[in-house]
Amino acid sequence: MKKLKSGILLTAITTLLAFMSVLYISSCNNKAPSLSPTSCENVVCQHGGYCNQGVCLCPTGYQDSRCGTKWNSKFVGRWNVVETVTSSDTYDTIGAQRYYQVVIDTTAVPKEIFISGLRGNGTYTDVTGLIDSTTIGFQIQAYIPGNNGNFTIVGGYAQITKIKNTADTASGIYYTDYLNAQSIREHDTIKFIMTK
């Protein structure tokens, strides 16, 4: 009889320990996950970006904490331009100024912009700007209006000098190559300031 009581007691203790261990293990599994600052569990990166230690690493052309903003979006709008010829093959054009507006728009490529109206000429549409990797400036690409070589924008650059949520002031230089009224090829360097 003593053996029977000790067997029942041993079975009861074993059953109780088994039940408690199952309860302990299941309670551990039901705890809320602790998200560390380096966790990527709830981080969604857009446009092909990926999460590394809780931070989105964005592909070229996109920025912000979730890669949702295109680089070119900050440049979009109407800009007032003041430009001055700082160097020229013709002495009397040095110091000449122009005041006009350009319109900058996005392209399908997030690191490109179209500049329309450069030099105050409405027919100069879609001059391309390539935004640099720092996203605070752009390179002006070569542009030949129409199909003639009488005038060429050789290239140039612009640097953003004041940034809020969108760019609102830029300055830079571009270069031209053209045939003057006497059919002599000339080269100008033009410095500009653009403001929104």
Q: How far apart are CA 138 and CA 19, in angstroms?
A: 68
| Best-predicted range by mean pLDDT (16-25, 68-77, 140-149, 160-169) | 68-77
Residue 58 lies in a domain: yes
- pLDDT tens across 136-170, in order? 788 888 887 765 557 788 888 888 776 555 568 88
Question: In the structure, what pLDDT confidence band is assigned to residue 30 with cuts at 50, 70 and 90?
Answer: very low
Q: Which domain holds residue 62?
A: 32-67
Q: How far apart are CA 54 and CA 65, in angstroms?
A: 10
142 and 86 fall within a common domain: yes
122 and 106 fall within a common domain: yes
pLDDT at 36: 60
Count: domains in the chain: 2
176 and 164 fall within a common domain: yes
Residue 17 lies in a domain: no
Question: In the structure, what pLDDT confidence band is assigned to residue 16 with cuts at 50, 70 and 90?
Answer: very low
160 and 187 fall within a common domain: yes
- CA distances (Å), 130 to each of 151, 182, 192, in order? 21, 34, 17
89 and 108 fall within a common domain: yes
76 and 62 fall within a common domain: no
Pair 113, 138: CB distance under 8 Å: yes
pLDDT at 18: 52
Query: For residue 116, what are its two tokens?
Result: 């329309």
